[in-house]
């Protein structure tokens, strides 16, 4: 655990008692603070009481008298579309509002660091798509190379629940826009921006607010090195803001759409090959095509980011390549769950928006596509460039007919349930094809999470293969 610093003897309020909230309460207590906890859910309050934490209704009049800070869980809005009533009360009372990420960055360094030969380093990864895979891949490469590494944030452990870092150790954090937007301290040693596509726009008041939330990771703390995906205008803008000159190698630009050979430090992937260029000369190359755990251009972008991080930490290209060969992939993210009769079954339930589904489709040549769910803003028109790869779409979800109508030029079948979609796709699939779950939609019309949806897909595939249907 990382004890929270700076609040010794102070009363600190915690709003939201899920994983991050309880972790923050424990951390604050370990640092000598007095946590005061609240959640609108009675079951969550009961869990906190079992830990011995004080429960106080923060919505009551005068609740913030004597409170030094309010720590808010990521899912609770503090500005758009409207502030939570308790957050608004804290702001009206002049009480600072923070989150567990802010507590982590202000508390991470310890007195024991003065005896370390190499201070620990924090690598923070943000962006719309690929954060989890990039973070997990960095952690995997560092671990395979013999470096002490911990994975935390949106993936792995809560940031305050990690162990105190070892001499020369690394902490890899996946950070969402919800987390970067509110944290009062953001000081990573290396920061990664993968890409940007429309998501969570209501929470951030539009695309400008969404980008601004991501940008804070780079603007607030000034990382020693920034790895920036430059395939969108926002990434190019950010890289330009952070660079002092075209040859400034504190910024590493990455791309999967163009060859980057300028005077700076660049990493790009084209036609399945990763290339590293420094000062206009090639410094490394990896053939990504045999790496099963990282299929498609979207994963090649993740690979470029992870490669750039590990190179900036001093790892040799061959060491990175060897580690990538053993990367198993993440559940629900381009996860190969079965191969039978020449057909590959891939679970990409995490493809909850149109951009991530487009990337998933473009990773395969001939697809039996299972899609649908709770549609997000913007419609499905952006999927058009990949629909020629789809042999047939099997549409699930409560609004499957309306979803299917938007897939113009694509043969569709309304299945509604996952079981029926898998049964039909399995029966139709030919050798060389891929049965792909990439919903392009949220799961909440039928499942309580994308993980449950992916698990159901895997179970349905297992039943179909086991029955020989």
Instruction: Name the binding residues for ATP.
Output: 127-133
As separate numbers, helices (DSSP H) first and strands (DSSP E) second, the chain gives: 15, 20
Distance of CA 455 to the CA centre of its chain: 19
Residue 166: DSSP 8-state? P
Q: For 387-449, what is the HEC assignment?
A: HHHEEEEEEECCCHHHHHHCCCCCCEEEEECHHHHHHHHHHHCCCCCEEEECCCCECCCCCCC
Residue 330: DSSP 8-state? B
Cα separations in angstroms, 104 against 5, 131, 324: 9, 19, 29
CA distance linking residue 167 with residue 313, whole number of Å: 14
Burial class, 152, CB count within 10 angstroms (exposed 0-12 / middle 13-18 / buried 19+): buried
The answer to whether 260 and 266 are in contact (CB under 8 A) is yes
CA distance linking residue 245 with residue 266, whole number of Å: 14
Nearest to 417 by CA among 347, 370, 463: 370
CA distance linking residue 351 with residue 199, whole number of Å: 12
Angle at 320 between CA 436 and CA 147, to 5 degrees: 110
Burial class, 184, CB count within 10 angstroms (exposed 0-12 / middle 13-18 / buried 19+): middle
CA distance linking residue 228 with residue 191, whole number of Å: 8
Sheet with 390-396: strands ordered across: 335-340, 343-347, 434-437, 367-371, 390-396, 412-416
- HSE-CB of 355 using CA atoms within 13 angstroms: 13
Nearest to 337 by CA among 209, 454, 208: 454
For 216, residues 6+ apart whose C-beta sits below 8 A from its C-beta are: 180, 181, 183, 186
Bind-site residues: 127-133
- Tokens coding 310: 């590990």
Burial class, 428, CB count within 10 angstroms (exposed 0-12 / middle 13-18 / buried 19+): middle
How would DSSP label each residue in 248-296?
Answer: -TTEEEEESSS---SSSEEEEEETTEEEEEETTEEEEEEE-TT-TTS-H
Nearest to 36 by CA among 5, 10, 8, 62: 10
């Amino acid at each position: 655990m990382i004890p929270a610093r700076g609040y010794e003897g102070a009363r600190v309020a915690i709003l939201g008692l899920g994983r991050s909230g309880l972790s923050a309460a424990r951390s604050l207590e370990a640092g000598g603070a007095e946590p005061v906890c609240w959640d609108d859910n009675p079951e969550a309050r009961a869990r906190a009481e079992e830990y011995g934490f004080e429960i106080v209704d923060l919505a009551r009049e005068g609740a913030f008298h004597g409170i030094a800070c309010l720590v808010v869980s990521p899912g609770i809005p503090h500005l758009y579309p409207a502030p939570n009533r308790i957050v608004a009360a804290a702001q009206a009372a002049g009480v600072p509002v923070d989150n567990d990420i802010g507590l982590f960055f202000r508390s991470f360094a310890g007195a024991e660091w003065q005896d370390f030969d190499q201070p620990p380093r924090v690598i923070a990864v943000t962006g719309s798509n690929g954060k989890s895979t990039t973070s997990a891949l960095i952690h995997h490469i560092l671990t395979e190379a013999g470096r002490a590494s911990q994975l935390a944030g949106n993936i792995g452990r809560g940031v305050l629940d990690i162990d105190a870092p070892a001499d020369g150790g690394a902490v890899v954090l996946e950070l969402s826009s919800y987390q970067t937007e509110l944290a009062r301290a953001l000081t990573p040693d290396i920061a990664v921006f993968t890409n940007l596509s429309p998501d969570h726009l209501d929470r951030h008041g539009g695309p400008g607010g969404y980008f601004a939330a991501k940008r804070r990771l780079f603007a607030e703390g000034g990382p020693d090195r920034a790895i920036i995906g430059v395939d969108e205008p926002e990434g190019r803008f950010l890289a330009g803001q952070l660079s002092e000159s075209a040859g400034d190698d504190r910024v590493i630009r990455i791309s999967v759409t163009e060859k980057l050979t300028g005077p700076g430090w660049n990493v790009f992937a084209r036609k399945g090959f990763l290339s590293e260029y420094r000062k206009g000369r090639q410094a490394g190359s990896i053939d990504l095509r045999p790496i099963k755990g990282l299929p498609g251009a979207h994963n090649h972008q993740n690979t470029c980011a992870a490669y750039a991080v590990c190179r900036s930490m001093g790892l040799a290209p061959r060491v990175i390549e060897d580690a990538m060969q053993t990367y198993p992939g993440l559940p629900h993210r381009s996860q190969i769950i079965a191969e039978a009769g020449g057909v590959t079954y891939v679970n990409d339930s995490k493809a909850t928006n149109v951009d991530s589904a487009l990337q998933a489709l473009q990773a395969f040549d001939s697809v039996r596509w299972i899609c649908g769910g709770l549609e997000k803003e913007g419609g499905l028109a952006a999927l058009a460039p990949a629909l020629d790869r789809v042999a047939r779409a099997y549409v699930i979800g409560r609004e499957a007919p309306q979803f299917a109508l938007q897939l113009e030029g694509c043969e569709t079948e309304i299945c509604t349930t996952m079981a029926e979609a898998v049964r039909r796709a399995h029966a139709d699939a030919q050798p060389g094809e891929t049965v792909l779950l990439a919903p392009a939609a949220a799961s909440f019309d039928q499942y309580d999470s994308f993980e449950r949806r992916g698990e159901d897909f895997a179970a349905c595939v297992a039943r179909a293969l086991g029955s020989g249907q």
